[in-house]
Structures are given as structure tokens and as C-alpha cells.
Amino acid sequence: MNSELINAISLVVLSFQGVATLILLSRLLPGAMRRSPLQPQPFHSHYSGKVSAIIPTLNEAERIKPCLQGLSSQGDELREIIVVDSYSQDETPAIVKAKTEEDHRFRLINDPPLPKGWVGRPWALHNGFLNSSHQSEWILGIDADTLPQAGLINSLITTAETEGYDLISLAPQFILQFPGEWWLQPALLVTLLYRFNSAGVDTNNSERVMANGQCFFCRREVLQTISGYSSAADSFCDDVTLARNIAAAGYQVGFIDGSKLIKVRMYEGAKETWQEWGRSLDLKDAASVLQVWSDWWFLLLVQGLPLPLSLIALLLLNLGYGSTTLIALLGLNLFLLFLRLIILVAIASCYQRPSKFSPASWLFWFSPLADPLAVVRIFLSSRRTPTQWRGRIYAD
């Protein structure tokens, strides 16, 4: 191979990666001073009846019980818990009905047939909001796969009202089980961390706001002002879409570390993680085409390429193609790999460690090897619109 060609290619790649690395550092450095995770807060009598919780469900029988129990353990600040079921074919309705007999705050309703232009999840949440008590000052959207911890809602109310937030969503602590999950899921999570601010770092740029619909806490009057969930009707990442719309309207939005308050078991195994979570991580429904693809190129440069480029550069140097540019390229990519390891240590607390020794959990430390695959997943997702979600079929 021509050494001049190698040098020219190395210079081009080095230039693009150098700029991308500066952007990455500008996003990661504020995370070093991010706020600490929210802590559970004790019940205050003046919080009584302030919150309505809404759970959208569709065939959630295998995982909804811990969520229902976690909400039931919350205090009187939680006025009602509305489960909006989209005509599940499993035991979900029966499980919820049994819970209504134990706790009068639970209510089971069915959402009307899905209208054209709506995705199932925001439609269910919208109908839950329309059926919620007008006496509630806050609406908590929460998913069936979450495990709410004691003191969750009091912590949300205290933080929102003392710090002036109109919307708070929480980053959870993930519960992983199988080897493939421990290897792939952290790499997919890092695609979000590299593109957006860390949980606990607020942004003034509404186009860069992050949110998590698994725990989405919003003032009722704000939802009323923006016509409920209708502005995110056709979005497969309705949480981020809605949060960005709320931020663009001038309201204060926070994405905060909630690892002490909610846990989540999202998917069963690497295959389901790849298919279900991977298809929404591009966030294309909440961003412009330019932002989606510029973000993908950015991920390719700082997350997808460092490992293969480091190996290629080492090989070329061993073959005698030494040059200052190639050495600089190797140095930059080794730095990006080192940075990735630091990030791995930083996100370790985002995962619940097994109570007993688990060989599978050690694959977490090898997740940087899955980074190129994670970037490929974002590429595949960015190219196509989902045609099915949670058992529902949508027109292509």
C-alpha cells in the first residue's frame, strides 16, 4: 500500500476525529459536576393528593406486579393510579383488577381505538391524562417495567417545587440478567451519553433535552397548555419529543439521576434489547434529519471507530508504515478508548449489581467491544420507521 495514501487518509480521519473529540469533551466534562442522584424523601402532609400516576399497558402480565406494588407503597401524595390498558390478551387486566380490591387508588380503564396518526403509548397516556383528577397538580407517567422505590413521589415533588421544575424525568438503575445484555446494553446506553448531557446536567438547548418516559413527572397545567400528549402523538420516542416540546415552550425541564428511586428491567436478553430498545435510540421522531445523521457520524467517529482504527494503526506501524500522522491517529484513538473506560466506571452505578457472584455481570467491563455494533444499530434504526411496537402493527 502507498505510504502517501495511508498518510493522507490518516490526516483526514484525524482531522474529523479531532473535532468530534472536542465536541465529546464539551459534553462529558459538565457531567463531572452533575448533581447527585435524587434520594427518597419522607411523606409531607401538605403533599397529600397532589399526584395522579398513569401506567400504559399492553400485555404486561409478566412484569407489571412489582410496578403496581411499588406504586401502592407510596403515601397519600399519590391520589390515584390509572392503568390504561390497550386490550391486553394476557392476564394484565386481571392482575390490575385484583390490585384495585387491595388499594382503592387503582383504576383500570381501556383506551379508545387507536386513531390514525397516533402511536399506542402516547395515546394511552393521553387518555389517562384526560381521565385523571383535576385536583391533582402533577401527572406521573410510569411504565409497567419500572420498580418504584419508597419515597419516589415525595422526592419528585420536593425537587420540582423547591427548584422550579415543570417537568422531571429520571434515569433509572437498570436490572440486567443474561450475558448478552451485560455486554450490549451498556454500549447502547453510551450512545445516548455521548450525544446528550449526563443525567443531572440541565441544558438550555431544547433540541438537546433528554427524557425518560419510564418516569415522567409533569405539572398538570403544563400538559393542559400543550394539549396533553398530542404534540407527541406520532412519535415512537414520545418521552423525548414531549420533553423537547415542553422545553421549547419555555418551561423548565430536568433529566436527573433517579437510580436511588426507580429500577427497571427493560428487556429479556440481548436479542430483545437489540430489537426493542435499539429501534428508538436514534430519536429521529424528536429531531431533524440533519441532527439524526450528524449525531450518527459523530458516534461513528468517537465510539464506533476507535477500537478498529487503533488495531489498524498498530498493524500498519508494525508493517513499517510509520508516520507522525499515523502515530497521532493511534494516540487519539487510544485516548478515546481510555475515555470510554472512564465512562464505563462512571456508569457502573446505573446497574444493579447481582447479590451473588455472576459471571455474566463481568461482561459489563467488556461492553466497549460492542461499541461498533451499537453504532451500527443506530444506523439501522435511523434508516427506517418502526412498523410494529409492543404487538401493535403500524402502517409502513
pLDDT of residue 391: 64
| Residue-range domains of the chain with CATH | 3-32+289-385 (no CATH), 35-172+212-268 (3.90.550.10)
Torsion sign (Cα): 167, 224, 281, 19:
negative
pLDDT attached to residue 43: 79
Q: Which residue has the cell 393542559?
A: 224
Taking the C-alpha atoms of residue 171 and residue 198, their distance in angstroms, rounded to an integer, is: 9
Q: How many CA atoms lie within 13 A of 51 on its CB side?
A: 29
> What single DSSP character describes residue 351?
B
* pLDDT for res 278: 83
pTM of the model: 0.93
Give residue 25's pLDDT: 96
Q: Across the strands, what pairs with 225? A: none
Please give the pLDDT value at position 396.
56
51-57 and 138-142 beta bridge pairing:
parallel
pLDDT at 227: 96
Opening angle at CA 335, ends 183 and 190, nearest 5: 35
| pLDDT for the residue numbered 32 | 83
Three-state DSSP state, 38: coil
Cell representation of residue 88: 391486553
- The Cα 44–Cα 149 span in angstroms is 17
pLDDT along the chain (396 residues), means of 10: 86 97 94 89 86 96 96 95 96 96 96 93 97 97 96 96 96 95 97 91 90 96 97 94 96 96 94 89 93 97 98 93 92 98 95 86 96 96 77 64
- The reported pLDDT for the residue numbered 57 is 96
Using the structure block, give the residue that is written with the C-alpha cell 398513569. Answer: 54
Rounded Cα gap, residues 123 and 98, in angstroms: 25
| Alpha-carbon gap, residue 309 to 16, rounded angstroms | 13
Strand partners, 139: 52, 218
Q: What is the residue-wise DSSP string for 132-192?
A: S-TT-SEEEEE-TTEEEPTTHHHHHHHHHHHHT-SEEEEE-EE---SHHHHHHHHHHHHHH
Which residues face 56 on adjacent strands?
84
User: With contact defined as beta carbons under 8 Å apart, do 303 and 371 qualify?
Assistant: yes
